[in-house]
Amino acid sequence: MKALGLHDARYERSDPESIRRLQLAKLKPLLRETWRSNPFYRDLWERAGADPERVDSLAAFAAEIPPVHKQDFVADQEQAPPFGRRAAAVLQSHSPLIVYHTNGTSGQGVEVHVQTHAEAAAVNEGYRSLYRWTGLTSGDHVFVCYPVSLHAGGQMDVSTLHAYGCTVYPVGNHDARQKLALLERFGPRVIVGTPSYLLHLAAVSGARPPGPRTELLLCSGETGGLALFRRLEELWGARAVSIYGASQIRADPMATCEQPIVTSRGPAMLHNLDPFYLLEVVDPATGAPVRDGERGEIVFTSLIHRAVPLIRCATGDHAVFRAAGSCNCGRPFSGVEVGSIGRLDEMKKIKGVSVWPQAVEELLFGIAEIDEYQILLGRDAYEADTVTARLFLNRPPDFEVAGELRRRVAMLLRERTGLRFEIELAQRQPDVGVDSKARRWIDERAPA
């Protein structure tokens, strides 16, 4: 395949085998250069007995090169603060850097990640494809609800949207009421934010739709189930797009396309930008790749970050893998099923029962009266687990309706999980704040 700009639509009319050959052609020199110049990765590979010269296929790459995890990044930057040995070569070159850090919500520490301006330009090339297939057009007016800070979200959205040719309103530092006033004043066609925050804006507004001229919701920053996306589309009267990214990748490598969230084949597909990012979905127990339709851990390699590489990063996210060509759009890219992404460490053990939060979310957001919810986990006087569903409703119910709703939700949750939930009905919760990731599960149980 001739070298093309990533945004060139000819990639999207190619075939999966040509894309795999392209990935391998980019991967081999990346591995050689990383072995030569990056002590962080070289030490990791030497400890595992890996030799990049043995990589002659994508299968050999997955078998030979060990994954890197969050704790490896944190240990590296603690050993050589603040950026770690993985950025040593680019620091010595005195190249200007763009700096991001994570919020450390996993309890494993805050990671610091950097990229050069040249790498950021390559990232922008990727977004030209991603934005095009989501329905964004050059010249669109776009509200970005993330604050511009050291977190990747706000920085990345503002810079990539400017590069794409959009008029950008960085409104993330305004509260919900101010955002809604600005929404009324400027009437953007597109809004970028977490699904939770867009849900919150709709609840604060009370208007249906909150933005009469808004046609496209670019939802990123956190995962969401199909019921949540359908609820957003209903409230806003706009099409929702799901976008996946991570601070370690320093980009959003996956997004849904022009197809609706639920297609004739089932849930839509988050398409990976295969020419620039190598996606693997693997069995976390064995490391073996899963097959189409199976669930595994998402592992990413950036084919465009050469100064500060990212090679086989195990994200800690699990999802249902979808093979290239699975979407009705016909693009030859691999990806994952929308609504299937979750954290490997988020499964809750309650009264001896394993509960995945995604299953509860899908049920509760499928109930029209519920705007938002929290699940409270605790222990009673006998040290037995308790579980309460606190429901934030879109309108105050009368006494009879409230009682019926409690009974109905408790029954549905018991059918779904096998557990008895206490049900609380609450007023709409206050402003969730500018970082806007929902904290729906609150576990106040003391360690057993």
Beta bridge partners of residue 97, listed in sequence order: 116
Look up the pTM and report it.
0.87
Cα 439 from Cα 346, distance rounded (Å): 12
Max Cα-Cα span within the chain: 71
**Is residue 1 a contact partner of residue 18, using CB atoms and an 8 Å limit?**
yes
Hey, what domains does the chain have and what are their CATH numbers? Answer: 1-345 (3.40.50.12780), 348-443 (3.30.300.30)
Residue 445 is classified by DSSP as P
Contacts 24+ apart (CB under 8 A), 168-176: 168/142, 168/144, 169/141, 169/142, 169/143, 169/144, 170/144, 171/143, 171/144, 171/145, 172/144, 172/145, 172/146, 172/147, 172/148, 172/434, 173/147, 173/148, 173/434, 175/431, 176/200, 176/201, 176/204, 176/431
pLDDT at 4: 47
**Is residue 272 a contact partner of residue 254, using CB atoms and an 8 Å limit?**
yes
Specify the amino acid at residue 324.
A
Question: What are the tens digits of pLDDT across the range 246-295?
Answer: 999 999 999 999 999 887 778 999 999 999 999 999 999 999 999 999 99
Distances (CA, A) of 52 to 42, 55, 197, 227, 311: 10, 5, 43, 44, 12
Which residue is listed with tokens 């990533």?
6
Question: What are the tens digits of pLDDT across the range 145-176?
Answer: 999 999 888 999 999 999 999 999 999 999 99
Beta bridge partners of residue 353, listed in sequence order: 350
Q: Which residue has the higher pLDDT, 4 or 428?
A: 428
Which residue is listed with tokens 């511009």?
148
If pLDDT is split at 50, 70 and 90, which confidence band does 360 have? very high
pLDDT at 87: 95
Question: What are the tens digits of pLDDT across the range 89-100?
Answer: 999 999 899 999
